[in-house]
Structure formats: structure tokens, C-alpha cells
Amino acid sequence: MEFKFGGSAENQKTVLGHPSGLFVLFFTEMWERFSYYGMRALLVLFLVSTVLDGGWEWSRADALVLYGWYTGLVYLTPIIGGFIADKFMGYRKAVVLGAFIMTLGHAAMALEGMTSMFFYAGLTFLIIGNGFFKPNISSMVGQLYKTQGKEKDGGYTIFYMGINAGAFLGILLCGYIGENIGWHYGFGLAGIFMFLGMLQFYFTQKIFGKIGLTPKQAEDFDDVIEDGVEKIGEDIKEAIEEAESSKVVRDRMIVIGVFSLFVVFFWWAFEQAGGSMTVFAADYTDRALEGSAAMTFKIVNTIITVVPMLVITWVLVMLFKQTFSKFSLASILLGLSFVIIWGIVIWMLNREFQSDATEVPASWFSVLNSLFIILFAPVFSKIWESKLNPSGPVKFAIGLLLVGLGFGILAYGAAGIPDGAKTASVSLMFLVGAYFLHTMGELCVSPVGLSYVSKLAPVKFVSLMFGIWFTANFFANLLGGVTGSFIDPISEEYGLSTFFLIFTIIPIAAAIIMMLLNPMLKRKMHGIK
């Protein structure tokens, strides 16, 4: 019997028109992103906080450079993790190993109060663990689909919604607990759900059939008849494509290279979210609310917390309907994690409503990015599956344009701040507008980029290509952190508005160049859409 999707017979059961295995990966990635973004939201705030507030009282420049190195290195190690999985371990073992190492990393960071060595050991474990986890789970998503068309683009966009569901919850809960209860509690909470996500994946992995096994295991499981049919098909394909295959592969690899180059400009600007934009939120934004404004925020915060939680829980219930009978233990563990999350959410909201004073946490603004993605990812998924679907280069150009315009809003909002000022009280709506435009840009670049790497890369090296893709993110994050560290000297000499204008002009210029390259890149994709 011919299966529509890759994986086992159980994986042919669909949720929202996509294979059940996609949502197993969805929740696994969700908890990993919970841990990563929860910690990321706290990192700079913790480092620059005073010793009395439990921080290390670092300068902004030093904190932003460490932030740049950390967020950069978590994208560099995937090239090694992808290679090891491709050649030796297989995707599944790499995902489990990576999740376990990251759990140890969060446990170490929770003990940062005992000695600084635990803090640095924790960061190291998180960087190494991410190298095994990140490229290989993305590769498994691609192998769930047998076609290279719009359906796979839609699948990656839904997977990206899972990424941001985790980011949303991680920033919201770890950020709140870290800022209001204690930094180490925020760091530790992230590790609990990383561990539960690892167990959920481990006990559900049979749903993937042969997807993600080690190269040797996949070979052993191959059916003789299936091998014979595939061999005939491969011989026919090789005969037809022999003359042009090397040129096609070369051209497609060039396209991956161009996309990887331009994605540097996007993430260089976008990743200011955890750096200079967090500094702007903490020191230059009016976050103290009173009276009706405070109550409005409490109500809005409740809505934007509960509604996405309800949506994610609804997806969870649909997955349970398809997989509970076969994978009951994994379902129970996943359900337990949601019970804990709901408990923390209710406690947090109740605590806020009982509080007289209301101050928006500086980490809260990062939640907006994930919230907008949860709300708009399904819309973009439908657009990419419709006649309105633009080419990959055009999507990239739109994304670069939008991230530039977002910083244009911040530049405008910061225009009235005196040169060299260390504090100000700018309206928080400027950050809301910037995060909205940045998110719309992200939806045009990141999930689409993952899908195009999966479609353009040779099958044998798809995980390695994901590693190369993430290496571009390494340079972007490192450059973003280093550039962000100049926020004080640039602000003192030219003003904070000029600092944000740098991140406005460069991405927009890159967008124009990408639009000009569109016809050439479409030809070099040789039919991949």
C-alpha cells in the first residue's frame, strides 16, 4: 500500500491536513524553544541587573557581546551535529541526545547563585545540545512529505508555529518568574519542559517509521521488493538526468548560498530583540502603568496569554485523538506538561490582578513576536498554498523590507531622546509596532528558508545543509551582538535614533538587491517552487 506521507501507517492519520508526526515534532520543538527563548529573554537583563537585584551588574556592552556569542554559537554547532547525524547517529538519536544535554545546561544555570562556573557550564551545554537537536529535527519535518511543493511549505510554517508557541510560553513564564521571583528560578523552569519534551519524543518515535534512523538501521529495515522498485526508478532517473544533474545540483546549491548570505542581514537586525531592543524596553520605555491603563494591560495580558494557550491545547487534543491509543505514555507526559503550564499561567495572572502596582516586565515585549506568529502563521501558511504564493527570493525581500521598517518605527520613537541619555519614558506602542512588522518579516523568511533548504539540498546531505544554513545565523547573531554593544557610544555621539536607523537602512538595501536577483535565482532553482 502506498502511503501519502513518510513514516509509519500511524503517521498517515492527519491533524489539520498534515501527518500526525508533524505535531509530535511540533511539541518536541515547542518545549526546546520554550527552554531556549525563556533563557534568552533573561540573559541580558540578568547580566546588567545590579548585585542587589541578584544580577552580575555588567556593562551593556559586555552583556550584549556575550549575548551575541551565545546566540551565535547555538547556530554554529548544528553544522557539526548535522554531519554526525547524517553519517553515524541518525536524526532521532541526535535529537534525544541534544535534548538531554540542554536539560543539563538549564540545571547548571539554575545553580548560578552558587558559583559563576555553573553559569558558563550551562551556556556551554546549551550550545552543544542545540547542535545535535536543531538541524536534525528540522530535517525530519522535511522527510514527512513525499512531494516538494506547497504542502511542505505549509508543513514547515505549522512547525514554525510550534517553535513560536514554545518561545511565547518560555519568554512569558521564564521572563516573569526570573524578573519577579528570582533569576535562577527562571533558568531552572526552562529545563523542566526540555526534559518532558525529550521524553515525549523518545516514546513516540516509532510513528516516524524509518525516518531518522541511523544509516545502517534504515538499510536493515528496507524491504527487498521496495528496494528493487526504487532501484529501477533510480536507474531511470539517473539515465534521464545524467547530463544535467551536476549543473542542477550546483545551481541549487548557489541559491542556498545566496539565501544564506541574505538571511545574515535579516537576523543581524532581527536578533536585536534580545539585545538592544531589550535594553530599550528596560531603560527607555515607560512601563509603569496606573489606573485604567494598568487594568487594560492586565486584561490584554490575560487575553494574549489564555487565547494562544487554548489554541495550542486544542491542537494537543486533536493529536491525542490520533495517537493516544498507540502512544499513551508519551501522550500522558505531554498532557502533564500542559497541566503544569496551565497551573503556572493561572498563578501568574492571579498574582498580577491582586497586585496594586503594575509594571510591564522588560522581557514581556519579546512575547509579542511569538504571539503574532501564533496568530498569523496559519494565515501565511494558506497564502503560501494559494495562487498568491510569491517566489522564494520575493518572500525574502519582503521580510528584509519589513524588519527595516520596524526599526524605522523605533528610530522615530527615539527621536526625542537627548543624545547620551541613559533613561527615558517613550511610549511602549513603538515597541509593539516594531515587533509586529518584524514578525511579519520573520514569517516571510525563516519557515520559508527552512523549506527551501529542504527542497534544494541533495537528499544525502540535507541535514548538513541545514547546518550550513544555521551557520549563517551564527554570523548574524554574533554581528548583531557586537553591533548592539555600540548602543551607548553611538547614542552619546549621534543619538539613539541614529543607532536604530542603521538597522533600518541596511535591511531595506538588501531587500532591493534581492528583488533584482529574483529572476536569476528562480532560473537556478530549476523548477523548485
pLDDT at residue 377, rounded to an integer: 79
Q: Which of 1, 20, 23, 24 is nearest to 12 (CA)?
A: 20
pLDDT at residue 237, rounded to an integer: 52
d(CA 6, CA 155): 13
What are the strands, taking DSSP E only, across 263-370?
288-289, 358-359
d(CA 111, CA 187): 9
Question: For the residues of 372-389, what is the DSSP string, one character each?
Answer: HHHHHHHHHHHHHTSTT-
- Here the cell at position 265 is 542581514
d(CA 92, CA 133): 9
Tell me the pTM: 0.85
d(CA 83, CA 479): 25
Q: Which residues touch 445 (CB under 8 Å, ≥6 apart)?
A: 263, 266, 395, 396, 399, 400
d(CA 416, CA 221): 67
Tens-of-pLDDT digits for all 529 residues of the chain? 578 888 888 889 989 889 999 999 999 999 999 988 998 889 999 999 998 888 999 999 999 999 999 999 988 888 888 888 888 889 999 999 999 999 999 999 888 877 889 999 999 999 999 989 988 898 898 889 887 666 777 787 788 788 878 988 999 999 999 999 999 899 889 889 999 999 999 999 999 998 988 766 655 544 433 444 454 455 445 434 533 457 888 888 889 889 999 999 999 999 999 899 999 999 999 999 988 889 999 999 999 899 889 988 999 999 999 999 999 999 999 999 999 999 999 999 999 999 877 889 999 999 998 888 878 877 887 887 788 888 889 999 999 999 999 999 999 999 999 998 988 999 999 999 999 999 999 999 987 787 788 788 877 667 667 767 778 888 999 999 999 999 999 999 999 999 999 999 999 999 999 999 999 999 999 888 7
CB contact at 8 A, 12 and 152: no
- Here the cell at position 358 is 503594575
- Here the cell at position 5 is 506521507
pLDDT at residue 338, rounded to an integer: 94
Q: Which residues touch 77 (CB under 8 Å, ≥6 apart)?
A: 127, 128, 130, 131, 132
Q: Which of 140, 139, 98 is nearest to 462 (CA)?
A: 139
SS3 397: helix
SS3 78: helix
Q: Which of 43, 24, 224, 22 is nearest to 119 (CA)?
A: 43
Alpha helices (runs of H) in 415-526, residue ranges in sequence order: 429-456, 462-484, 487-494, 496-524
- Here the cell at position 34 is 520554550
- Here the cell at position 395 is 518572500
CB contact at 8 A, 423 and 284: yes
Q: Which of 76, 75, 95 is nearest to 85 (CA)?
A: 95
Around Cβ 520, how many Cβ atoms within 10 Å? 13
Please calculate the CA angle 452-445-166 and round it to the nearest 5 degrees.
100
H/E segment holding residue 15: strand 14-15
Give the chain's end-to-end CA distance (angstroms, integer): 29
Q: Which of 130, 132, 129 is nearest to 94 (CA)?
A: 132
- Here the cell at position 479 is 554581528
What are the strands, taking DSSP E only, across 126-267?
none
pLDDT at residue 243, rounded to an integer: 36
d(CA 153, CA 136): 18
